[in-house]
Amino acid sequence: DIQMTQSPSTLSASVGDRVTITCRASQSISSWLAWYQQKPGKAPKLLIYEASNLESGVPSRFSGSGSGTEFTLTISSLQPDDFATYYCQQYYTLYTFGQGTKLEIK
Amino acid sequence: QVQLVESGGGLVKPGGSLRLSCAASGFTFSDYYMSWIRQAPGKGLEWVSYITNTGSTIYYADSVKGRFTISRDNAKNSLYLQMNSLRAEDTAVYYCAQKAGYFDHWGQGTLVTVSS
């Protein structure tokens, strides 16, 4: 099974900050990686697919990069609505999610 | 617009059974693979199962294999998850999601609680 490890588990930041979340796969997954945002009591929302493709309607301050085993999600300038939990997910072999990164207000 | 509405969750005793349903609308249901994904309280996301658009191919996570059965009725635009031999660790919000791969549309989820 492919394991996905996100870091950090918790991230404290301020509005306007640039933040980066990292996701590492236990083996190469090419670019078969997605990122989601989840707010309390809500279903996850797709942000990025195929490592770097922005889902329609998602603000351009979100970007994804990487391939193989290391990936990043970057938010260029944090907005109040961005404080949430973020998950990566591989779909190279079935599906595995990372454990999540909670983005908190500093 | 795509809408997925889960139902059927509730409280069940360990060893019991429950059948979840997901009603789909706003897209051609019979064209899409569908998945179930769950989230235990305060925990992360876990993929549970997927089914191809015709139902010809099905996969399960090891944690539910042999206990859960996914199915669909394309005439009713509905997805199902039959859950048997339920355990405390199956307690979670269960989401249906469009596609298999990355998941671009999700339902609101239905809570399953396994407790005596």
User: How do residues A37-59 score in pLDDT, each as one tens digit?
Assistant: 999 999 999 999 999 999 999 99
Q: What's the mean pLDDT in A3-17?
A: 97
Give the confidence band of B101 by pLDDT, cuts at 50, 70, 90: confident
> B103 and A46 in contact by Cβ < 8 A?
yes
- The pLDDT assigned to A16 comes to 96
CB atoms inside a 10 Å sphere around CB B79: 28
- The pLDDT assigned to B99 comes to 80
CB B91, CB B114: distance < 8 Å: yes
Q: Which amino acid is at B34?
A: M
- The pLDDT assigned to B43 comes to 97
Compute the nearest-CA separation of B96 from chain A (Å): 10
Q: Could you tell me which of B114, B116, B104, B111 has the C-alpha nearest to residue B38? A: B111
Distance CA B116, CA A94 (A): 33
Q: What's the mean pLDDT in B94-101?
A: 91
Which residue in chain A has the smallest CA separation from B35?
A95
User: How do residues B10-44 score in pLDDT, each as one tens digit?
Assistant: 999 999 999 999 999 999 999 999 999 999 999 99
C-alpha neighbours within 13 Å on the C-beta side of residue B115: 7
Give the confidence band of B100 by pLDDT, cuts at 50, 70, 90: confident
User: How do residues A72-101 score in pLDDT, each as one tens digit?
Assistant: 999 999 999 999 999 999 999 999 999 999
Q: Chain B residues with CB inside 8 Å of A36's CB?
A: 45, 103
